[in-house]
Structure 1
Amino acid sequence: MKLLRVNDHDMAYLDIGAGKPLLCVHGSLNDFRAWMAVLKPLSAGRRLIVPSLRHYFPEHWDGRGGRFTMAQHVDDVIAFIEGLGTGPVDLIGHSRGGHLAFRLALRRPDLVDRLVLAEPGGQLDDSLLPEGAGDGPPAAGSRAHVAAASEKIAAGDLDGGLRAFIDGINGPGSWDALPAADRQMREDNAYTLIAQVNEGRLPFARAEAEALSVPTLFVGGADTPGMLPVVLKALAAHVKGARTVTIPQAGHSMFRQQPAAFAKAVLAFLED
């Protein structure tokens, strides 16, 4: 593990291999350990750089104070890329990290050669929301969904809060079915969910999708329920020249569930 000082914060990261830099940004309740299943294939012939965002493990944070916002994390990753001194990178973002990567590529396309968005998390504004898609219970990853889970965590019910969040993303029983290492990673990052409620994440807009100028691949899991596939489809329809690939027999954690298929699809796009 290495550390790079950015914006008065020591960002921890893994740095593996050599060649064209490829940067992977994790999602909610995750950290650099999230990418373990694909470290080997993604670092073959490349320099793979995998950071943990501010306040995620290995930092031990209680969810109080600090600077936990989407804007801060975007600023941090911009400063991180600049601090590496590698020039433009290929950028992969998953879930919340996909939202971050989308914002970063919009703001600083000079830092990104190719962009991979693996089920980017967030809500759609009225310019992108399909009719009827906003009906029903709170969408996975929405402020209401995060708030319901974080309230349990803040009250001391760590297991109940994490179950509410993970089951809301992947379907009932998903938390109990997670391997022990994946459960531990979520527990290590549980208190970030309290701050995520008020992180200031803006909804995706059609004008933003149309303005994205970086070659982009959207990756989805064939079995992902809820709004995440709707968000992916809506964005992909308006990003010029975007490609989409669906990983079979996988849900939202597609790169952990089907690492070989995920790496093959991503590398084919990056090397095209």
Structure 2
Amino acid sequence: MTMHNDYPQHTLNLDRTALTFQDAGQSPACLLLVHGSLCDFRFWRWQLPDLSASLRVIAPGLPAYDATAPQSSGEAAHFSIAQHATDMFTLMDHLGIDHFAVLGHSRGGRIAAEMATRRPDRVTHVLLADPGLGSVLPEDSMPALPYRDLALAAYESGDTDAALEIFIDGVSGAGTWKRMVSWFKAMTRDQAATLPLIIREPLYELNPARINEYGIPVTLMGGSDSPAPFPAILDALEQQFKHASRHTLKPASHGLNLALPHAFNQIILQALGHTTQQS
């Protein structure tokens, strides 16, 4: 399997900032990839080569995450699930893509869900990889997540790497940061300024009614070793979505697309009705 990402970067100028994205593949069937916290389009480096053989794949860096794009001083005011969903629709409109599947990882799962809820006539399939949709859990079952406050305190004290290590280990398991390769650490360092925005962001309330009403298929993916609350979130979503299928990648934690890229890519291709690709 090819494990590199040499695709060119394109820039779309928005009213307040710029959005950088990669666009790979020639198929009329399109998949939008939405990354999660502390990431950008580089997160999908092992997805684009495989997936673009069968799909047109759009991989943006969300505004306020994208290290390659100039940011306005007021960008923090636009750091929200609603705004990022709007930005993604603006990108797809710019590319002339009316109908598409959307895959969201972690915080990106909230954006994917918001897009399908807002425009179920345009989103053909929702794929959620360890989505950060904690609102689906009963309040008394949501585990305490002390790493968030600890990471914020470390960041605000000026120790960026310690903050990143605390946060990454919190969502993926102890020792994950030390095992990460250099490109991943560089990516998260580029996005470190978003850490306070992530931690202080209000809870996103999922309403699955519109997704169910339109019969949109939902593919749920999780890692066998993903820490709480991700397995419980997937359990709840499996019950709430009428047209859901679920897959567990083993052995993998929260970064399941990086741990098992071939298996991850094959789940996507099969979910979207494409034959498996061998490379």
Q: TM-score, normalised by structure 1?
A: 0.88
The secondary structure found in structure 2 opposite 1:191 is helix
The secondary structure found in structure 1 opposite 2:121 is helix
Displacement of 1:202 in angstroms is 2.0
Check whether the contact 1:70–1:201 (CA below 8 A) recurs between aligned residues: no
Kindly report which structure 2 residues correspond to 1:90-129, keeping only aligned pairs within 5 A, or say none.
90-124=101-135, 128-129=137-138
Check whether the contact 1:93–1:117 (CA below 8 A) recurs between aligned residues: yes
The secondary structure found in structure 1 opposite 2:161 is helix
Deviations 1:162-199 (A, max 9, x none): 01101111111111111111111111101111122333
Query: Take 1:195 and 1:160, find their aligned partners in 2: how far apart are those partners?
Result: 17
Counterpart residue identity of residue 20, structure 2: A
Partner of 2:171: 169
Partner of 2:63: 54
Say if 1:80 and 1:146 are closer, same or farther in 2 by CA, change over 3 A.
Answer: farther
Displacement of 1:62 in angstroms is 8.7
Counterpart residue identity of residue 50, structure 2: P
Bigger mean CA deviation after superposition, 72-81 or 159-168? 72-81
Query: Take 1:31 and 1:152, find their aligned partners in 2: how far apart are those partners?
Result: 22
Partner of 1:43: 52
Give percent identity, aligned residues only: 33
Which segments of 5 or more consecutive residues in structure 2 lack a partner in the other structure?
1-8, 275-279
Check whether the contact 2:18–2:71 (CA below 8 A) recurs between aligned residues: no
Partner of 1:82: 93
Say if 1:209 and 1:222 are closer, same or farther in 2 by CA, change over 3 A.
Answer: farther
Partner of 1:141: none
Partner of 2:6: none
The secondary structure found in structure 1 opposite 2:151 is helix
Q: TM-score, normalised by structure 2?
A: 0.86
Query: Take 1:30 and 1:234, find their aligned partners in 2: how far apart are those partners?
Result: 26
Of 226, 229, 242, which aligns to 1:227? 229
Check whether the contact 1:63–1:191 (CA below 8 A) recurs between aligned residues: no
Deviations 1:92-139 (A, max 9, x none): 1100001110111111112211111111113225xx428x5225x32x
Query: Take 1:17 and 1:7, find their aligned partners in 2: how far apart are those partners?
Result: 28
Superposition CA RMSD, Å: 2.3
Aligned residues: 263
Check whether the contact 1:118–1:220 (CA below 8 A) recurs between aligned residues: yes
Check whether the contact 2:109–2:132 (CA below 8 A) recurs between aligned residues: yes
Query: Take 1:238 and 1:63, find their aligned partners in 2: how far apart are those partners?
Result: 39
Which segments of 5 or more consecutive residues in structure 1 lack a partner in the other structure?
139-143
The secondary structure found in structure 2 opposite 1:124 is helix
Of 195, 198, 218, which aligns to 1:196? 198
Query: Take 2:206 and 2:96, find their aligned partners in 1: how far apart are those partners?
Result: 30
Displacement of 1:40 in angstroms is 1.0
Partner of 1:18: 26
